[in-house]
Amino acid sequence: MNVRSVGILCLGLTASDPRNAQDHPPTIDLVITHALVLDVRTGNVLPDRAVLIDHGVITRVARGSGATLPPAARIIDARGRLLTPAFVDSHFHTGFVFADSITATGGGITHLIMDPDSIEAYRRVVAKLYLPYGVTVVRDVGSAEQDLPMLIAWMNPSPHAPDFYPVGAQLVSPESGRVSPPFQAALADSQAAARKVAEYYKLGIRNIKLYWRLREPEFKAALYEAQKLGMNVTGHVDQRVMTIGRALDLGLRNYEHMFTLALSVLTDGELDSLYAGVPEHLGVTRETASGVHGLFFLITMEFWNYIGRDNPRMLALIEKFKADSASLTPTLHVIAQRLGLTYFTSPPRGAFEDASAFTPRQRERALDGYRIMVTYLIRLYQEGIRLNLGTDTHDPGQAGLSEMLLLHDAGIPMAAVFKIATLTSAQDIGQEARYGTIEAGKRADLILFDRNPLKDPRGLLGPKTVIKDGVVWSNTN
């Protein structure tokens, strides 16, 4: 144990010593000494730092040797281990964790009880899924409106659960014959779209999610209202209702899911013939294709096989992304885990994500598509386009670490992966003033790694001390 209850770091007297009560500095909550601090802005590691924490906030980062430090209620001697900011998951859904049934495309249907005790109990469930893995801030990008009392209650910060930034429900346009699931809000027209955004704003919500089922009139109205109110807007744009190029022109700057870029560079004719031809490529007939489990992954990756490497249309979209300073949350894990590329795999929640019966040829083609997709992800990274950490699954803490390893496997250096998981994700949800770096004034949300992931990326999965709001949540000391 290297944690002492009361530390005397400089003068040899504590604040409680009656001889010194007048002129001694007050005791602060926590000091972490002898830490190797990662500066995610530069990727540099700063040796022998002392991080001072009081009332949940980093108050100072001092050079350890020779610095005069105030007495602290608790001291953790990092012994040269790596200290980093904790992680931000910018793509979560409560419906994935609390679903008692699943829609055909994977949305979670919840029947939660909205009394204060239940809301608190549900929050503890989410905390256990995140905090042991070092994720201390979460954006929910679409949950049921019936669960709004819970989403709003969770916005009240607690050291015992991740800080929580909901969007309300995903915004969609109505479609004849389609009943929207509870985690979507159907907006009849542009006035209804603006009203919904304003209604969420009044509830304290500051993030909005535009879903691909939103048509341009409602899309524009929701986007402009949110921008007028200073809210953050992210969008999942695909399936030909809108394109990413058009959404960029309208002013949307944050996008979800790398795979969606494929749909935005293919013409309607190409998509039609791909949808028609894909089953044959994959060795199934059109009639039996709907019975193929995990077909979504096969088809989506087949789009990338068609696009191929160095496709001028994809490169032009990336240029546009860069010119418009847009950001992307790749969510690789959700696909990669079905292709055997991840350190853990969640059991499929339904046929739509069951890849266990893929033939070797199907798996190989999907892997080819995935490899092509990540060449463009690297291009985005090399062009300086901001990438964010997002999980989009029901075991999100573990998936967050997996996502980081996949970003590294794709070719992004670990220090840059840490920047993605911390500072840029905090920027993506509009909270870079509070999170994402180890600097005075930021929340004391930190991870102390027993094994340095900058030296061996698998150190991410190793033992770690997680600190949230200056409170030690899990301790390996």
Dump strand ranges (E) for 93-227: 101-102, 108-109, 135-140, 163-166, 170-172, 184-186, 207-210
| CB nearer to Zn ion: pick between 92 and 219 | 92
| CB nearer to Zn ion: pick between 7 and 397 | 397
Tell the smallest beta-carbon distance from residue 374 to Zn ion (Å): 20
Interface of this chain with Zn ion, residues 339 to 358, rule: CB under 5 A: none
Task: Give the DSSP H or E segment for 15.
Answer: none
Q: Which residues pair with 328 in a beta bridge?
A: 255, 387
| CB nearer to Zn ion: pick between 212 and 358 | 212
Tell the smallest beta-carbon distance from residue 202 to Zn ion (Å): 25
| CB nearer to Zn ion: pick between 54 and 238 | 238
| CB nearer to Zn ion: pick between 154 and 449 | 154
Tell the smallest beta-carbon distance from residue 258 to Zn ion (Å): 13
Tell the smallest beta-carbon distance from residue 97 to Zn ion (Å): 13
Q: 170-179 — which CB contacts under 8 Å span 24+ positions?
A: 170/141, 170/142, 170/209, 170/210, 170/211, 170/236, 171/196, 171/197, 171/208, 171/209, 171/210, 171/211, 171/214, 171/218, 171/222, 172/211, 172/213, 172/214, 173/213, 173/214, 173/215, 173/218, 173/241, 175/213
d(CA 310, CA 317): 12
Tell the smallest beta-carbon distance from residue 392 to Zn ion (Å): 4
* Residues 179-218, mask of contacts with Zn ion (x by CB under 5 A): ----------------------------------------
| CB nearer to Zn ion: pick between 173 and 234 | 234
Three-state DSSP at 376 gives helix
Closest-approach residue to Zn ion (CB): 392
In the chain, DSSP finds a helix count (H) and a strand count (E) of 16, 21
- Exactly one of 39, 392, 395, 445 binds Zn ion (CB under 5 A); that residue is 392
Tell the smallest beta-carbon distance from residue 166 to Zn ion (Å): 13
d(CA 47, CA 418): 17
**By CB under 5 A, residue 89 contacts Zn ion:** no
Tell the smallest beta-carbon distance from residue 325 to Zn ion (Å): 23
| CB nearer to Zn ion: pick between 218 and 238 | 238
Residue range at the interface with Zn ion (CB under 5 A); choices 95-103, 266-274, 314-322, 385-393: 385-393
How many residues interact with Zn ion (rule CB under 5 A)?
A: 1
298, 364 in Cβ contact below 8 A? no
Sign of the Cα torsion 199, 200, 206, 208 reads negative
Tell the smallest beta-carbon distance from residue 188 to Zn ion (Å): 24
| CB nearer to Zn ion: pick between 54 and 392 | 392
Q: Which residues pair with 44 in a beta bridge?
A: 39
Residue range at the interface with Zn ion (CB under 5 A); choices 111-119, 351-359, 384-392, 412-420: 384-392
Residue range at the interface with Zn ion (CB under 5 A); choices 33-41, 122-130, 390-398, 418-426: 390-398
Concatenate the DSSP letters of all residues of 205-244 into one string: --EEEE-TT--HHHHHHHHHHHHHTT-EEEE---TTTS-H
| CB nearer to Zn ion: pick between 70 and 108 | 108
| CB nearer to Zn ion: pick between 34 and 257 | 257
Tell the smallest beta-carbon distance from residue 236 to Zn ion (Å): 7
Phi-psi bin for 429: left (phi > 0), alpha (psi -120 to 50), beta?
A: alpha
**The length of the chain, given as a count of residues:** 477
Three-state DSSP at 439 gives coil
Tell the smallest beta-carbon distance from residue 93 to Zn ion (Å): 6
**Contacts to Zn ion by CB under 5 A:** 392
